Amino acid sequence: MKFERYGIGLIKGMMVTIQHLLRHPTVSQYPEQRLNISRRTRGNELIWSREKCTGCATCAKTCPQGAIEIVTSTNLADNKYEVETYRVDTGYCIQCGLCVEACPYDALFMGYSFERAKYRRGDLVQSDDELLESPERPASGYYHPEIAEKLPEQTLLIDKIVEKRK
Ligand code: SF4
Ligand code: SF4
């Protein structure tokens, strides 16, 4: 009796394997295939605007993690602060976005990019030019709906699967 069941189980298992082989894949082949993430993504890197920043340090005071360090000097001629160093330890940052919300001059944004893995802990500290916006480091729409509406529409994996099945 046991001998007869042995062969049937093997065939059933093979049927399941074959069924899956014929199905359309339901995953994307990252990093070759990339889906657009949601426009409402908060992001995980800060984007800083050197031009807009006044050195008020509101962001640093707001940060619950103490992840922002800002060094300023006084420009007595123009009666304003000069930002000498603006540094964020993204290893401590919890992406809460409070600094972005607190900035009174719209000089800070959350980033839309997400590939930030580094080999060394020290490489997670970003300062000055590393924090500026670039094509590789676009700002996210978090707290800035005017940016969100210009971002590409989110690609939904389910739409891709339905498209392939047609
Ligand atoms: S997102 Fe939050 S944790 Fe990160 S730097 Fe801003 S306030 Fe600090
Ligand atoms: S709150 Fe805004 S303007 Fe003030 S130091 Fe931070 S980034 Fe600059």
The residues near 71 (Cβ < 8 Å, ≥ 6 apart) are 83, 84, 85, 86
The residue whose C-alpha atom lies closest to atom 4 belonging to ligand 2 is 56
Total tally of structural domains belonging to the chain:
1
The residue whose C-alpha atom lies closest to atom 1 belonging to ligand 2 is 103
Is residue 97 situated within a structural domain?
yes
First to last CA, the chain: 46
Is residue 62 situated within a structural domain?
yes
Task: Find the domain containing 132 and state its range.
Answer: 46-148
pTM over 0.85, yes/no: no
The residues near 141 (Cβ < 8 Å, ≥ 6 apart) are 39, 40, 41, 112, 147, 148, 149, 151
- pLDDT tens per residue, range 42-97: 887 899 999 999 999 999 999 999 999 999 999 898 888 999 999 999 999 999 99
In 3-state terms, what secondary structure has residue 7? helix
Is residue 125 situated within a structural domain?
yes
Q: Is 97 in the pocket of ligand 2 (CB under 6 A)?
A: no
Mean pLDDT on 13-32: 84
Is residue 57 situated within a structural domain?
yes
For residue 126, count CB atoms less than 10 angstroms from its CB and return exposed for 0-12, middle for 13-18, buried for 19 or more: buried
Is residue 68 situated within a structural domain?
yes
Residue 4 pLDDT greater than 70, yes or no? no
Is residue 112 situated within a structural domain?
yes
Is residue 15 situated within a structural domain?
no
| Index of the ligand 2 atom closest to the CA of residue 105 | 3
Nearest bound ligand to CA 94? 1
Is residue 74 situated within a structural domain?
yes
Rounded Cα distance between 73 and 55, Å, is 9
Looking up residue 71, the CATH number of its domain turns out to be 3.30.70.3270
Least confident segment among 3-7, 20-24, 51-55, 105-109: 3-7
Q: Which two tokens stand for residue 3?
A: 């001998």
Mean pLDDT on 149-156: 89
